[in-house]
Amino acid sequence: MATHSRIIGTGGYLPEKILTNADLEKLVDTSDEWIRDRTGIEQRHIAAEDEHTVDLAEQASRRAMSAAGVNPADIDLIVVATTTSDQVFPSTACLLQSRLDIHGCAAFDIQAVCTGFVYALSVADKFVQTGSAKCALVVGAETFSRIIDWTDRNTCVLFGDGAGAVVLKADQSPGILSTHLHADGDYAKLLHVPSGVSNNYPAVQEGRAFVEMQGSEVFKMAVKKLGSIVDETLQANGLERGDIDWLVPHQANVRIITATAKKLRMSMDRVVMTVAKHGNTSAASIPLALDSAVRSGSIKTGDKMLLEGFGGGFTWGSALVQY
Ligand code: ACO
């Protein structure tokens, strides 16, 4: 009998400090009205100065493990999706492993920016399916505020910090039904941080390594690629649009989410929407949205949900999941 992976617990964590649109009006030439109209965002959470990606990841992971009823000793794989790791190395996954008092299992980071969680879930699912892991901790965690130029109104209004996590367990009945991952590096320059360790390192040292984005170009591609991945996912599973109970999208912009829901002919009350409360938290946004819908009782055991994301790279992907 084939082995599948199931999500058996979710967790989320948002830093305490809230930055509202009104706060941003004092930093850059913008308005609450513009931000709400163009993005749907009302506020975002910002990590404290001494709070790092691993701190956020730890909180979300503990909540997911508690919801799943598993102990540190049960976890035999840790995959963390992040763009904003604490250190160049070790990976945030290794730092998290130590925090959780887990020892010996494989632990590594995945970098696919806003699609990171879908990539991480897909990789962990394959470990479970092939018998290489039985109980995986999959995390999306970001302190995106650290790579934002807070004088650039084109980007600073969009992003926030946070973490989300799930525990994936081997099971005889399917939870993750399929995953589909894509990337096209030709679009790198439309959404990137142009400096890093090996390229223009002085910008990193001087704290000038910031997100640069051609917003409207990214917007158009996101709507196009998310539309095509909806078709690909439905087709691969022999499903019709009406067969999906919930859309759990990457939370970047209400207008992008609405366009994908329209493609699925899904009414907006079946779409999990948390972007208003925490903006775009990159790899953390899908597990945060999932956790909020599970904890509010909206998503129930047996529901079929489509997770989808689009981000820098470009990268895009989906996971069809039976909860
Ligand atoms: N406040 C007020 N005005 C602004 C602001 C702001 N914060 N930002 C831009 N503007 C202005 C622009 O300067 C422009 O002015 P102009 O017409 O005088 O030149 C005008 O508003 C319109 O700008 P556009 O960029 O055309 O606005 P658009 O409707 O495209 O909305 C937005 C911009 C919200 C950024 C949108 O393009 C978007 O959401 N893009 C996608 C972002 C995204 O999804 N990223 C996902 C992946 S993120 C990741 O992977 C890290």
In a shared domain, residues 100 and 212: no
Atom of ligand 1 nearest to the CA of 83: 51
Q: What CATH number corresponds to the domain at position 146?
A: 3.40.47.10
Q: Which of 280, 307, 282 is nearest to 293 (CA)?
A: 307
Has 52 been annotated as catalytic?
no
| 104 and 136 housed in the same domain | yes
199 is catalytic: no
**Which of 129, 144, 173 is the last residue in one of the domains?**
173
For each successive 10 residues of the chain (323 residues), what is the average pLDDT? 94 98 98 98 98 98 98 98 97 98 98 98 98 98 98 97 98 95 98 95 92 96 93 95 94 94 90 97 98 97 96 98 96
205/104 same-domain check: no
Distance 154 CA to ligand 1 centre (A): 5
Find out whether 136 and 9 touch, Cβ atoms under 8 Å: no
Probe target for ligand 1 pocket from 211, 218, 250, 316, with the most ligand atoms within 8 Å of CB: 218
Element of type H or E holding 321: strand 315-322
> The dihedral of CA 56, 62, 67, 73: what is its sign?
positive
Q: How many CB atoms lie within 10 A of CB 75?
A: 22
- How confident is the model at residue 207, as a pLDDT? 87
- Whether residues 54 and 129 fall in one domain: yes
- Distance, in Å, from the CA atom of 160 to the CA atom of 259, rounded to the nearest integer, reads 22
Q: Of 141, 173, 205, which marks where a domain is finished?
A: 173
- Examine the domain organization and report whether 206 and 243 are in the same domain: yes
Together in a domain, 259 and 292: yes
**Total domains, the chain:** 2
Q: Are residues 108 and 62 in the same domain?
A: yes
Cα(190)–Cα(313) distance, integer angstroms: 9
Work out the number of other CB atoms within 10 angstroms of the CB of residue 26: 7
DSSP per residue, 184-197:
-GGGGGGEE----S
Q: Dihedral of CA 142/14/214/309: which sign?
A: positive
* In a shared domain, residues 155 and 24: yes
Q: Based on the fold, state whether residues 123 and 156 are members of the same structural domain.
A: yes
Residues 67 and 135 placed together within one structural domain of the fold: yes
- Residue 167 domain boundaries: 4-173
Sequence-distant (≥ 6) Cβ neighbours of residue 49 within 8 angstroms: none
Per-residue pLDDT at 27: 96
Catalytic residue among 45, 52, 250, 278: 250
Q: Is 250 labeled as catalytic in the residue annotation?
A: yes
Last residue of a domain, one of 131, 150, 173: 173
Query: Would you state the pLDDT for residue 2?
Result: 85
